[in-house]
Amino acid sequence: MSTGVNSSEQTAGGAAADGGVLTAIDHVGIVVDDLDAAVGFYEQTFGAKVVHRERVEKDGVEEALLAAGGNYVQLLTPTREDSAVAKWLAKHGSGLHHVGYRVDSCQVALDRAVAAGVRALDAAPRPGSRGTTVAFLHPKSAYGTLIELVQEG
């Protein structure tokens, strides 16, 4: 029984053959209170390697992306107390924050979600880390999961 989309189940453009807009899981976002310690844990425990590290001033976060097959583990820590991630960390502590799904077009995926009645946190796609375009969907509209739509390049 297949539980995911393999390469034979995707169109040439990368979209799911079933007409869906989610092409892959891009990353799992985990909020941590000590980024260096969390990176060390993944390096020592799993041999994971940091492939990208960036401070995103606009969002008040610093992130480290660790390779996990063709996907990533995104470790996030707040850099400002007024950031959404700082507020989330204060309320929930370290842990799973969101799931990022790859899409061919962030705008198309966002429009489709909004048309289906999903509450968007971003009115329009915006620049994300590592040169991506992103938009977030509210967890109350998505069965308790904060969703990030991620368009490469």
Any idea which residues carry the catalytic annotation? 27, 63, 74, 98, 148
Give every CB contact of residue 133 below 8 A, 6+ residues apart in sequence: 106, 125, 126, 127, 150, 151
Do 51 and 68 touch, CB atoms closer than 8 A? no
